[in-house]
Structure 1
Amino acid sequence: MAPSEHRAEAAHPLAGPLFDPGSVAVVGASESPRKWGYWLATGALAGRDRRAVHLVNRRGGALGGVPFRPSLDALGARPEHVVVAVPPPSVRQTVLDGLAVGARQFTVVTSGAHGEEGPASAPAEERALAALVAAHGGRLLGPNCMGVVDTGTELNLTWGEFPRGDIGLVSQSGNLALELARLLRRSGQGISRFVSLGNQRGIDAADVLDSLVGHEPTRVIAAYIEDFRDGRRLARTLAAARDAGKPVLLLTVGRSAASGRAAASHTGALVSARATVRSMCQEAGALLLDSAGELVDTAVALLSPARATGRRVAVAGDSGGQGALAADELAERGLDVAEPSPDTAEALSRLLPAGAARGNPVDLAGAGEADLTTYARVARTLLTGDADAAVLTGYFGDYASDNPEHEWLECAVATELADAVGESGRPLVVHTMARDTAALRLLRSRGVPVYERVEQAAAALANAVRWAEGTRLDDGAPPPGPDPDADGATAAPVCDGGYRTLRELLGARGIVFPEAEFVTTADEAAEAAGRVGFPLVLKAMGLAHKTEAGGVALGIGDEARLRAAFARMSRATAAGSYAVEAMARIPHAVELIAGVRHDPAFGPVLMAGIGGVTAELLADTALCLAPVTHARARNLLLSLRHAPLLHGWRGAPSLDVDAAARALTALARVAVEHPELAELEVNPLLVHPSGAVALDAHGVLARDGTAP
């Protein structure tokens, strides 16, 4: 680590103790390669030129000429960083011993920390252990982690090989981290730092990601996270990485409780855990990816000497079929494989034989095989033309496999290709059927991405473009927490705040509902109808899915039909109360759905989408963290796939999107003020040319009840 880099990082609490400690002690060191203690001790000893390394095992022994000490207090020196690899019942005492000798950083590799009560007590004991360390001014990584690596400071406190490179890796899965490290090695890349989070009882994902934002050798951040803990804090950290120009590539699991929530409300069915994470990534400017391979491919593309800044892609290949397939893969991912400009086409015509395709894709038609330098000249022409990036697909890199005499020339062409990237400032992505040849190793050493499958190349380039085009959403939205316009007082719970129904609560915030009266008997319904007027709607209250349950009757035109509908509805639903509501007949209206769900990690999450009874069928929704500004709510609506319906479809008038946005901001505000509502929903929200009206509202109390 360069001195200037160390100074820039010095303010971060993890910089020294976790990543560059002055001394390390491995407790549970072993002479046997079958044990974790052996690999942790071996890795620690590799950094002896930079720091003091102590090995502790009460049974004695030695490794690499370093004797094992019986205990931490026998070291005669203060270890700054203690690695704990002892049986679970001994973990707490080991940490206590470390604190007693002045250690302040603990990496607990051991899975669990249970004592007499057994594994069931492990979570509580782990939290108590982290609190104990924190009370002494220290930090705990783990338990149940695989350790930590900093290739720049020669710190290797883990098992497995982590090649040096430019990617900061954070993972809750040790084996997945090993897979990523191996894939990176094959791609010619490696890691700057690796942290295995384990159970995150002390140091969590946001802590480590925050440290990587200011770490100069880290150019791309990769993370696998299952438990997001404080999701809002994590979102702020991802946004800081975006502001620093560092791409964050995130993997997570797709598990969610959406199926269990579906019975409670539409919102629960439409807002999954993964959808919430995807929304958070969009707001923070990070990329949520689907697999380890996609993450590595994208990271390699983002580490190219030149990053794509636009969607125009030129394709060149020595096979018409491969070029066409590459074009299809790129176009399917939203990239523009457009025809070249006349100037570029003319320049290509001077390089290619008669009959070669000069469009896009470019078919070398044997010119590359006849003269390998054609690859470089064509690529340079494309990179200096009107394309934002170029893809070379086919056979290049494999000529030396068939004829070793071609190796020097193929390497020379690879050098020209890499030079063209640097000179043009535009990325080149190479897809080849070759695997590991001298020319490909040279390209990788120069940062030019090389892929075995064309779909890898297309996905990586598309993701790199997506990151370049994406921005952190910052429209002046309020920080997570209470509404900025609130007076600071805690809102009374919904059931105790003087509101008989959610309609009254939402109406007080400005959401418009049709005129309605609430009744319990058919006679009361008939009396209310006289005041509301026919035609009207009868609804059973307290049901999430009224239509499916037989709890809605539309267009009731007289008292006889009202009484008949009431009788049918009472038998079908056994509801305790009913709404007699004015029938909303508004031409050119579109049904939306708006809801808020309290996510355990991210807090209130606002959802907007195409609503009504087809909400779950269409699944056209967009999410963001609540509360929201008017601008954010408006943009949320306009991001829907069916947003053209709001602008006036096929001659229909434009709808009042601003009125719908005001309803969203009001709904989000109520959800923030009333955390006792686990879910809150308006469906449908009828938006029309002159306003927006909520036709129904539903809430689910966190106490497993239903809001009135």
Structure 2
Amino acid sequence: MKDLSRLLRPQSITVLGSVWAENVVVQCVKMGFSGPIWPIHPSKPHIGGLKAYASIADLPAPPDATFIGVNRHATVDVVAQLAQIGAGGAICFASGWTEAGEAELQADLVAAAGVMPILGPNCYGVINYLDGALLWPDQHGGRRVARGVALLSQSSNIVINLTMQARGLPVAYVACLGNAAQVGLAGLGAALLADPRVTALGLYVEGIDDAPAFAGLAQAARAAGKGIVCLKSGKTEAAQVAAASHTAALAGCGAASSAFLRQSGVAEVATLPELLETLKIFHVHGPQIGPRLCSLSCSGGEAGLVSDLAGPLGLSFPAPSDAQRRALGDILGPIVTIANPLDYHTFIWGDGPRTTDVFTTMLAGYDAGVFVIDPPRPDRCDPASFAPALAAIEAAGAATGKPAFPVSSLPENFDESLATAMMARGTVPLMGLEPALGALRAAQTPPGRGGWRPWPSRNSTRAGLMDEAAAKALLAAQGVGVPRGVSAGSLAELAPLTASLTAPFALKGLGFAHKTENGVVRLGLYNLNAQPEMPGATGYLLEEMVTGVVAELLIGCRRDPVYGASLTIGFGGVSAELLADTQTLICPVDATEIEAALRRLRLFPLLDGYRGRVRGDIVAVIDAALAVQALLLAGGLEEIEINPLMVRESGAVAVDAVIWKDME
């Protein structure tokens, strides 16, 4: 891994170019960078008010960091010269490389850099707010801090927007990757987190270049007590090249990327406000908070809104204990209904000691607390009457050692200066009820399994459909239950074989990935008399029909070009996409993770004896999923799908199986 310390924390900076270079000089001076800045220009004596040097050879010393703002062809030569004199690293700003079809030119750039680290090309740069070092050619909204979070983005415009936040979040670094020709996402993320002044890492990601390295980064961050939160874009692309299988449709890039982040221990969010609010939690409280939440507000409307918004997110607001009910009832009186969320009314408003007592008593029984409060805007109103409640929130957090979050219902209802001051004291105000609840959910993300890494990805090979009879023989050899059956090339050849089976039968035409859609499945047969041939069938499979079915599941395992391989499990049958009740995991997974995924299914109660129903054999389902994973790991296969897996009270049977095998 490249050593980026000089590039990210430079003692000296060089800039090349004209307008862009001058912007870098202006930003560094404005931010109070204490080291020397050496502009380079062949004809101008000064850049941004500083002495300019005619060439790299004229510099007083090898620079720690260089911003290269010249054209792409000149950039290659500049990088070679910097590498030769022992410079610490460079930002390659110019565009027009691989993204423009110039892969060879980008390869020349990497070769020219040698051991010297470069970011980009097509990279906007890096801001170090800790030391005032800005290799950044544009405006930004940050300020100097002593410690804070790092923002790493694959979009320069997105991260510029994030610097304009007014939420009290201290930002230590802003960094862009560009084309990541030499230094990738995991490498730059690790270098940022290596600074002890960095408390957490926020990512805007369009694509993950090295999944195993990223998983390693996430687990190292957790071990260091630093959280990572990610907003992954592009999840609705049609990596759901779905015609091939149900699994491809249900485990497209969105499901796979979310599974990968979850298993790596990375918190995932859906919006930029949630990203910032989660980072605030991580900055103060570390990479994880507990799941048991309480909510307090002085309005029934706010309490109801919290409940309504929290429900779809799966946030837990358990009822207060009997001891809490008695204690809170003694303070608040008989009119207030003690519940969670708690509407404590306004009887205690302005009474600091009683408010502190209520807040502390409630928070003590939970992992963290939501305190809905919207201080009046200070430019037109007097927020003084809200001071006792705000102080009580901080006091409750200090007394219990639990995170106490003041939460405004609207983001603009919490002044930036107030938020900044509270953050500095260790209290995290969350701005906007919906982003706040989303951030609280994200902050509950558990750490990934220690040492877990996804399988290496590989280039997709040309795949061919395996005959279903052969596919089931392969599954049976791996221990998966399959129906008793016989196969033949024609119905005439099949008819004499039926004597070995017990009716009723299922008759299938072979050679189709989706049999029902192609009309090549006939059920409930007792013989083959007068059965017409099935057009397009390459052969026939006759099986005994499965009885005593508790539920129909889908199990699919497929190679993934980014994450190695994914395992999808859920409710199946011909309505699999309609139900859309599946969970996707990234291989390898173990029995515990598969069972947890099963229990996250909306319809899992149907497997677990809902309303007196027979319970399905969950162990058999888990065993089947592990067997499918083992088959894919063994090699030679691109995708395996069992749909449906008929789950019975004892055992599970793969009624339909599709396997795509390598053809190269």
1:610 aligns with 571
Q: Of residues 130, 133, 136 in structure 2, which corresponds to 1:152?
A: 130
In structure 1, what is the Cα distance between the partners aligned to 2:566 and 2:244? Answer: 16
Is 1:299 aligned to residue 279 of structure 2?
yes
In structure 1, what is the Cα distance between the partners aligned to 2:427 and 2:433? Answer: 15
In structure 1, what is the Cα distance between the partners aligned to 2:622 and 2:169? Answer: 46
1:60 aligns with 44
Q: Write the deviation string for residues 635-657 of structure 1: whole angstroms up to 9, x where unpaired.
A: 44344333333334444443333
In structure 2, what is the Cα distance between the partners aligned to 1:304 and 1:477? Answer: 27
In structure 1, what is the Cα distance between the partners aligned to 2:342 and 2:162? Answer: 34
How is 1:187-266 mapped onto 2 (pairs within 5 angstroms)? Answer: 187-258=167-238, 261-266=241-246
Q: Write the deviation string for residues 626-676 of structure 1: whole angstroms up to 9, x where unpaired.
A: 23334444444344333333334444443333333222222222222335x
In structure 1, what is the Cα distance between the partners aligned to 2:59 and 2:583? Answer: 58
Deviation at 1:530, TM superposition (A): 4.4
Aligned length: 653
In structure 2, what is the Cα distance between the partners aligned to 1:684 and 1:500? Answer: 15
CA contact (8 A) 1:375 1:413 kept: yes
How is 1:335-414 mapped onto 2 (pairs within 5 angstroms)? Answer: 335-341=315-321, 343-348=323-328, 351-352=331-332, 355-356=335-336, 359-363=339-343, 365-367=345-347, 371=351, 375-383=355-363, 385-395=364-374, 397-398=375-376, 404=382, 407=384, 411=387, 414=390
How is 1:122-137 mapped onto 2 (pairs within 5 angstroms)? Answer: 122-133=102-113, 136-137=114-115
CA contact (8 A) 1:356 1:365 kept: yes
Quick one: structure 1 residues 612 and 438, their matched pair in 2 at CA, closer, same or farther if it must change by over 3 Å? closer
In structure 2, what is the Cα distance between the partners aligned to 1:495 and 1:310? Answer: 46
Quick one: structure 1 residues 77 and 623, their matched pair in 2 at CA, closer, same or farther if it must change by over 3 Å? same
In structure 1, what is the Cα distance between the partners aligned to 2:333 and 2:610? Answer: 50
In structure 2, what is the Cα distance between the partners aligned to 1:48 and 1:372? Answer: 42
1:488 aligns with none
Q: Of residues 170, 175, 180 in structure 1, which corresponds to 2:162?
A: 180
Q: Of residues 265, 269, 282 in structure 2, which corresponds to 1:285?
A: 265
Deviation at 1:56, TM superposition (A): 1.4
Secondary structure class of the residue paired with 1:501: helix
How is 1:468-617 mapped onto 2 (pairs within 5 angstroms)? Answer: 470-474=446-450, 480=455, 501-532=470-501, 534-561=503-530, 563-564=531-532, 567=533, 569-570=534-535, 574-575=536-537, 577-617=538-578
Q: Write the deviation string for residues 111-146 of structure 1: whole angstroms up to 9, x where unpaired.
A: 2248xxxx743234224422442xx21222111111
CA contact (8 A) 2:553 2:569 kept: yes
In structure 1, what is the Cα distance between the partners aligned to 2:428 and 2:66? Answer: 39
In structure 2, what is the Cα distance between the partners aligned to 1:47 and 1:83? Answer: 16
Secondary structure class of the residue paired with 1:69: coil
Quick one: structure 1 residues 113 and 653, their matched pair in 2 at CA, closer, same or farther if it must change by over 3 Å? closer
Quick one: structure 1 residues 270 and 376, their matched pair in 2 at CA, closer, same or farther if it must change by over 3 Å? same
Secondary structure class of the residue paired with 2:123: coil
Secondary structure class of the residue paired with 1:590: strand
- Segment of structure 1 superposing worse, 323-332 or 145-154: 323-332
Quick one: structure 1 residues 702 and 58, their matched pair in 2 at CA, closer, same or farther if it must change by over 3 Å? farther
Deviation at 1:550, TM superposition (A): 0.5
Is 1:426 aligned to residue 402 of structure 2?
yes
Deviation at 1:226, TM superposition (A): 1.0
Deviation at 1:608, TM superposition (A): 1.4
2:55 aligns with 71
Deviation at 1:157, TM superposition (A): 1.0
Deviation at 1:86, TM superposition (A): 1.0
1:486 aligns with none
In structure 2, what is the Cα distance between the partners aligned to 1:392 and 1:403? Answer: 21
Is 1:325 aligned to residue 305 of structure 2?
yes
- Segment of structure 1 superposing worse, 63-72 or 306-315: 306-315
Q: Write the deviation string for residues 550-570 of structure 1: whole angstroms up to 9, x where unpaired.
A: 021122212314x32xx2x22
In structure 1, what is the Cα distance between the partners aligned to 2:614 and 2:345? Answer: 54
Deviation at 1:460, TM superposition (A): 2.9
CA contact (8 A) 2:371 2:393 kept: no
In structure 2, what is the Cα distance between the partners aligned to 1:49 and 1:441? Answer: 23
Quick one: structure 1 residues 500 and 51, their matched pair in 2 at CA, closer, same or farther if it must change by over 3 Å? farther
In structure 1, what is the Cα distance between the partners aligned to 2:134 and 2:155? Answer: 17
Deviation at 1:14, TM superposition (A): 3.3
- Equivalent position amino acid for 1:681 in 2: E
Deviation at 1:390, TM superposition (A): 2.9
CA contact (8 A) 1:213 1:240 kept: no
1:690 aligns with 650
Deviation at 1:288, TM superposition (A): 1.1
Deviation at 1:197, TM superposition (A): 0.9
Deviation at 1:290, TM superposition (A): 0.2
In structure 1, what is the Cα distance between the partners aligned to 2:33 and 2:418? Answer: 36
- Segment of structure 1 superposing worse, 298-307 or 663-672: 298-307
In structure 1, what is the Cα distance between the partners aligned to 2:333 and 2:418? Answer: 25
CA contact (8 A) 1:588 1:652 kept: no
Secondary structure class of the residue paired with 1:254: coil
In structure 1, what is the Cα distance between the partners aligned to 2:500 and 2:379? Answer: 88
Q: Write the deviation string for residues 447-504 of structure 1: whole angstroms up to 9, x where unpaired.
A: 323345333333333333x23xx23235x8787369xxxxxxxxx9998999993334
Quick one: structure 1 residues 292 and 353, their matched pair in 2 at CA, closer, same or farther if it must change by over 3 Å? same
Q: Of residues 104, 117, 120 in structure 2, which corresponds to 1:142?
A: 120
- Segment of structure 1 superposing worse, 444-453 or 199-208: 444-453
In structure 2, what is the Cα distance between the partners aligned to 1:478 and 1:176? Answer: 29
RMSD over aligned CA atoms reads 3.4
In structure 2, what is the Cα distance between the partners aligned to 1:282 and 1:437? Answer: 32
In structure 2, what is the Cα distance between the partners aligned to 1:633 and 1:413? Answer: 45
**Sequence identity percentage:** 27
Q: Write the deviation string for residues 302-330 of structure 1: whole angstroms up to 9, x where unpaired.
A: 3346974241404132x332333234434
1:313 aligns with 294
- Equivalent position amino acid for 2:156 in 1: G
Deviation at 1:253, TM superposition (A): 1.2
Deviation at 1:350, TM superposition (A): 5.8
Secondary structure class of the residue paired with 2:198: coil
Q: Of residues 6, 15, 22 in structure 2, which corresponds to 1:26?
A: 15
Q: Write the deviation string for residues 498-546 of structure 1: whole angstroms up to 9, x where unpaired.
A: 9993334334333333343443333223244345564432212222211
Give TM-score scaled by structure 2 length. Answer: 0.88
CA contact (8 A) 2:33 2:131 kept: no
Quick one: structure 1 residues 648 and 390, their matched pair in 2 at CA, closer, same or farther if it must change by over 3 Å? closer
CA contact (8 A) 2:307 2:341 kept: yes
Secondary structure class of the residue paired with 1:386: coil
In structure 2, what is the Cα distance between the partners aligned to 1:102 and 1:440? Answer: 44
In structure 1, what is the Cα distance between the partners aligned to 2:276 and 2:331? Answer: 35
Quick one: structure 1 residues 654 and 127, their matched pair in 2 at CA, closer, same or farther if it must change by over 3 Å? farther
CA contact (8 A) 2:126 2:174 kept: yes
In structure 1, what is the Cα distance between the partners aligned to 2:599 and 2:345? Answer: 46
Q: Write the deviation string for residues 667-706 of structure 1: whole angstroms up to 9, x where unpaired.
A: 222222335x432212222232332322222234566x9x
In structure 2, what is the Cα distance between the partners aligned to 1:142 and 1:657? Answer: 49
Gaps (5+ residues) in structure 2?
A: none
CA contact (8 A) 2:169 2:276 kept: no
